Copies of this chain bind each other. A is one copy, B any other.
Amino acid sequence: MSTTTLSLSKSPITGIEYAIPASSDDKAGIDAFIALHPGKKVVVVQGLGFVGSVMGLVVANALTEEYAVIGIDLPTPASYWKIRSINEGVFPVLASDPKIGLYYEEARRKKNYYATFDSYVYSKADVVVVDINLDVQKKSAKNRDLEGYDVNLTPFRKAIEAIGTHCKEDVLVLVETTVPPGTAQKIVRPLLEESLAKRGLATDKIKVGHSYERVMPGPKYIDSIQNFYRVFAGTDEKSAEAVETFLRTVIRTDEYPLTRLGNTNATEMAKVLENSYRAMNIAFMVEWSRFAEEAGVDIYEVVNAIRMRPTHKNIMLPGLGVGGYCLTKDPLLASWARMNLFGSEEKLGQSEKGVHINDKMPVYAFEFLRDQYTGSLAGKKILLLGVSYLNDVGDTRYTPVEGFYDHLLEEGCEVTLHDPHVKYWEEKDLWINQDLESLLKEDYDVVVVTTGHKDYRGNAALLEKISSKPAAWVYDTIGVLTNDEIKSLGEKHVVKVLGRGDL
C-alpha cells in the first residue's frame, strides 16, 4: 500500500500537493456531514469536473429546497485535489462568473456542500446526479478524428455500478452526462436493476431519468445551469415525475420552462443532435472558406450579410478549428449509439464527417501559413494571440490552438503564447504570460490571432504597437481584423486572413 499513499494530486489553483489516501474510507466524514443536516434530502453529485462541481454548487443553493449536497469523484491525481479543495474552502474551478464565488461562500456558510471519494455516500443519497465524463477515444494523435474512433463504456458502467452497489432501492438517478442515445434505458437502468436484484432489493422502485446540461464555463457559468431551458425525460412515468420535481427545486423553471420529451432516447438524442448541428454547420463552412480564398472573397463579409435574415442567423464561421468538450465528440457518440445500441447498419455519416473535417482545420491553418510564408518558418519567432477555443472565456479543452501550436513547434518555430483568460494551460502544463504589453516589447516574425477575444478586436493600441514593429506577417485565423485594420497593417506588414482571398 505504500506506493499508493505516495501518489500526489496537485491543485493547479493553489499549487498545494495532496497525498492520495490509501484507503477509500470516508464514512466518518460523510456521516458527520449528514448529521449536520437532519431531515434534508441528500443529493450526491457524481463527478467534480466542469459540470459536476458547479452543479453541486447550484444544488447547494437550490431555490425552493434545502439539500445536503455531496460531490464525489475518484481519488486520482487528476481529481483528488478537487475533493480536498472543496472541503478546504477553495472552489476548484477558476471562472470569471462572480456568482461562482457567491454561491460557494453561501454553501460554506450553510455547510451544505461536502466532497468525498467514498462510494458509501450512495447509500445516503435520495438523488444521484451523474455528471461524469463519457469520452470518445479518437485514434489519431492529439485527439483528432482522422483515423476513426471508439467509445469505451467501461468507466461509465463502473460508475453506475458503484451507485447500484450502495444505493437505496427508490433513489432517483438523474443522468446529466452527454451519453450515446439509448444509454439511460439500455445501460443505466438495467445495471442498477441488476445490482439491486443481487442485493435482494426491489427493482421496480428505482427512478432513472435523463436531463442534459448546457453548461458554458465563462461569465455566465451559474446561469447556464440555473437560468436556462432544460429538456428531460424518465425511463418510466414515475422517473419522469421525480426528475421534474427535482429540477423545479433547482432551476428557474418559471422563466425557463422545462420541456419533457417522450423518452430518454429522445433527450439523449436532443443533446448530441444540438451539438452535431453546430459542428456540422462549422464543417459546412470549411469548404466555402476555401472557395472564398480562391475567389478573392471575404467569407466574413459574406456571412455577415447572410446573417441579416432571421432564417440564416445561425450560419457559422470556420476559423482555426473547433474545440471544447462537446462539438468535438458528440456527433461520434451519436453515430456509435446508432450502430452499437440500436443495431443500425448505417452510421451517422455526415455527422461523423463533420467532426473529421473540423479536426483537420488546425492543420490546414498551419499549412496555409507555411505554404504562403516566404522562406522557412524554422527558427521564426511567432506570437499566438489566444489559447482558449472560445472567445472571451478561458477554456482550453480540445482547443484547436493546440494542434496549430504543435505544428509550429515541430516546424522549429519559437512560439510565445498570450491569452487574457488563460493563466495555466492544463493540457500542456504551461503557464501563460497574460501581460500583452510586455510580450510586445519583443519583435516577432509572425503575429497570429488564434482566438477571437474582445481584447484583440478593434484594439487600436495593439494594432499601433504591431504597426510600429519591423515589417513582419500578421495572420488572422478567425477574421477579427476589419478591412480598415487590414489595410492599415498592410502598409507595412504582410496580412493574411483565413477565409479571405487576397482582394
A residues apposed to B, CB below 8 Å: 181-182, 214, 229, 231, 259, 261-263, 265-266, 269-270, 273-274, 276-278, 280-281, 283-284, 287-288, 290-292, 294-298, 301-303, 305-306, 308-315, 334, 338, 342, 344, 346, 348-351, 353, 357, 503
Residue of B280, B301, B315 touching A261 (CB-CB under 8 A): B301
Is the pair A287, B351 in contact by a Cβ cutoff of 8 Å?
yes
Supposing A287-B350, A349-B287 touch, asked if A302 and B269 sit within 8 A by C-beta, the answer is yes
A280 to B21, CA, bound (A): 54
Supposing A262-B298, A305-B231 touch, asked if A269 and B292 sit within 8 A by C-beta, the answer is yes
Please name all residues of chain B whose beta carbon is closer than 8 Å to the beta carbon of A181 when the two chains form the complex: 291, 295, 297
> Distance in Å from the Cβ of A197 to the closest Cβ of chain B?
25
> Distance in Å from the Cβ of A215 to the closest Cβ of chain B?
14
Interchain residue pairs with CB less than 8 A apart (11): A181-B295, A182-B295, A259-B305, A262-B297, A262-B298, A266-B301, A277-B315, A288-B348, A311-B314, A312-B314, A314-B315
> Distance in Å from the Cβ of A274 to the closest Cβ of chain B?
5
A227 to B154, CA, bound (A): 58
Residue of B284, B295, B306, B315 touching A350 (CB-CB under 8 A): B284
A298 to B260, CA, bound (A): 12
Is the pair B305, A342 in contact by a Cβ cutoff of 8 Å?
no
Please name all residues of chain B whose beta carbon is closer than 8 Å to the beta carbon of A231 when the two chains form the complex: 305
Please name all residues of chain B whose beta carbon is closer than 8 Å to the beta carbon of A270 when the two chains form the complex: 302, 305-306
Chain multiplicity (copies): 2
A214 to B181, CA, bound (A): 39
A262 to B297, CA, bound (A): 8
Is the pair A265, B311 in contact by a Cβ cutoff of 8 Å?
no
Is the pair A261, B302 in contact by a Cβ cutoff of 8 Å?
yes
A277 to B277, CA, bound (A): 12
A259 to B306, CA, bound (A): 10
Is the pair A291, B305 in contact by a Cβ cutoff of 8 Å?
no
Is the pair A308, B342 in contact by a Cβ cutoff of 8 Å?
no
CB-CB nearest in chain B for A264: B297
A59 to B348, CA, bound (A): 48
Please name all residues of chain B whose beta carbon is closer than 8 Å to the beta carbon of A306 when the two chains form the complex: 270, 273-274, 277
Please name all residues of chain B whose beta carbon is closer than 8 Å to the beta carbon of A283 when the two chains form the complex: 350
CB-CB nearest in chain B for A338: B291
Please name all residues of chain B whose beta carbon is closer than 8 Å to the beta carbon of A278 when the two chains form the complex: 311-312
Please name all residues of chain B whose beta carbon is closer than 8 Å to the beta carbon of A338 when the two chains form the complex: 291, 294-295
Which residue, A266, A298, A313, has most C-beta atoms of chain B within 10 A? A266
Please name all residues of chain B whose beta carbon is closer than 8 Å to the beta carbon of A214 when the two chains form the complex: 309
Supposing A229-B309, A305-B231, A338-B294 touch, asked if A288 and B273 sit within 8 A by C-beta, the answer is yes
Is the pair A313, B314 in contact by a Cβ cutoff of 8 Å?
yes
CB-CB nearest in chain B for A232: B305
